[in-house]
Amino acid sequence: MKKEVGEVILEAVHGDIASQPDMTAIVNAANAQLMPGGGVAGAIHRAAGPGLAEECRPLAPIEPGQAIISGAHNLPNKYVIHCLGPVYGNDKPENILLADCYRNSLRLADEKQIDSIAFPAISTGIFGYPFEAATDITLQTILEVIPDLKYVRHIRFVLFGEEDFEVYVERLRDIK
């Protein structure tokens, strides 16, 4: 499912964030220590190999809402942008911190002249953010940032669950 917004293509796919070879950058739903873990971070570090954790070690810890960039090592991409989402019910205000994740990741991507970037649904796994509420914040933030982007032209959302994918398809359809 693709949707054009100005000069940018928004796309939702059902799949694995670590298997997006046509994207210049992928975003990691990182932990503060930028180390391998479960979910997205586990899949990305497994595919990237140990060099990714080594490169990230001096950049940790990061704060909720913050994004940093690294190489992609054995992944088929050029960069990984690591972003720490808020833990729902704990890091507040969680809606602002989640919006910061997407805003800061996109700004960083644009600074690096990255044309295509794939996001997972940050904070909606182990960090417990209700999926539909997180999706609304994500898309609202991205629509706000799009007019400022000079290089990013393709933003993909990679959803692991079939139902999660359907939520994105519906929300993308609703964008005027």
Residues engaged in binding ligand ADP (CB under 6 A):
16-18, 29, 38-41, 43, 85, 120-127, 158, 160-161, 164
From the CB of 9, what's the least distance to ligand ADP, in Å? Answer: 19
Element (H, E) at 175: none
Element (H, E) at 17: none
Tokens of 103: 């805003």
Amino acid at 44: I
* Distance, CA of 149 to CA of 133 (rounded, Å): 25
CB nearer to ligand ADP: pick between 102 and 127: 127
CB nearer to ligand ADP: pick between 6 and 91: 91
Amino acid at 64: P
From the CB of 127, what's the least distance to ligand ADP, in Å? Answer: 3
From the CB of 141, what's the least distance to ligand ADP, in Å? Answer: 15
DSSP state of 59: G
From the CB of 115, what's the least distance to ligand ADP, in Å? Answer: 21
CB nearer to ligand ADP: pick between 35 and 126: 126
From the CB of 5, what's the least distance to ligand ADP, in Å? Answer: 22
CB nearer to ligand ADP: pick between 69 and 159: 159
Element (H, E) at 171: helix 162-174
Contact by Cβ (8 Å): 80, 43: no
CB nearer to ligand ADP: pick between 105 and 123: 123
Q: Is 88 exposed, middle or buried (0-12, 13-18, 19+ CB in 10 A)?
A: middle
